[in-house]
Amino acid sequence: MPPSMSEKKVGPVNLVDPEDGIHLGVVRLKGGFVEEIDLVGEEDPSLPYLLPGFVDPHIHGAVGVDFMSATEKDLERFECFLRSRGVTGCLLTTVSAPVENILKAADTLQSYVHSHPNSVFKGVHVEGPHINPKRRGAHKLEHVQRLHDEEFQNVFSHPMVKLMTLAPELEGFGQAVELAKRYDVILSIGHTEAPFSVITKAVEVGVKRFTHLCNGMPLIHHREVGPVGAAILLENVVAEIIVDGVHLSQEMVRLIHKLMGSRLELVTDAMEAAGLEDGRYKLGRIEVVVNAGIAHLSDDTLAGSTLTMDRAVLLFHKYTGANHSEIVKVSSHNAAFELGCKELGRLREGAPTPVVEIGSQFEYLKVHT
């Protein structure tokens, strides 16, 4: 569904921009964009705050749509749902699968984006199949494989592929780094058992991101801090976290925030059950059961989430006490900057809608389109 062409005024509210700071102002929205901003004063903590729309670099599906099998009509319904939850940009995420299936999903998205130039879909996050089988989570073992130069060059070179999750300890990682540099694809460390020494070498060659920190990797040990310790200690990296109260305890979220500050990106890792009732669903071709909003395999392995970005933001504030400026960084600006989406993650004239209004005490969240 295209953005409304009607005009809407929001304010006076506190306008939160990660680079320009916080100012009191009035915003006029029209045709899916911030058309005009009128600054009227300094921050007033008693009034609501207006933030740029969310950017989610890791989402598999929602409202009955799974990216791996989605049609263009499915993607339209998916996008409409995401806009209603405040998302202005995201990367649709694959699961480990044969290369031809990954490319088919990317081709469908490319066709959709061509006919929807202002879509929230900004590309593809390829999660697997070059991951550690011992840390594969909900990825099917039969699809986890080593990197094959020729066929994976077709994945790296696809114009929709922007991000890829890999395990740096596996054979072929060096080739992946070279392909990523050649085709301007961001690499992310995930589904890994790599020790600190291997992680450090990966970061030295330019891999400066972690996929769903703590999940799909060993936790810190007093003789081997591993990937979680590396993310904390290496200050030039960022890490995704899934703040749904399930993938990470609220105490772990607080600890990560205390140690890493705003070097975080909130993601949903949502699958097709997001926005729907409990029941049986699929993640790629994997059977998933959703009970009490928790998505899991038959052996209780977590299989993505039913989280939405608006809820992730409210939970992150509840667990950490993060203020509005920090929320902008972890919910939109960090991911937008990393992906090179200059139009996202900022609250300024020309920015796309939706924009997100949050109460001064985070007592409510409202989406404006």
Active site residues: 269
- Element housing 110 (H / E): helix 99-115
Hey, what amino acid is at 362? F
Given CA atoms 24, 30, 31, 36 in this order, what sign does their dihedral have?
negative
| Contact in structure between 295 and 288 (CB atoms under 8 Å) | yes
Given CA atoms 284, 289, 294, 297 in this order, what sign does their dihedral have?
negative
User: Which tokens hold the place of 188?
Assistant: 């992310």
Q: Are strands 33-42 and 21-30 parallel, antiparallel or unpaired?
A: antiparallel
- Terminal CA-to-CA distance of the chain, rounded, Å? 12
- Compute the CA torsion angle 322, 89, 303, 317 (nearest 10 deg): 10
Helix boundaries (H) for 149-281: 149-156, 173-183, 196-204, 226-233, 250-260
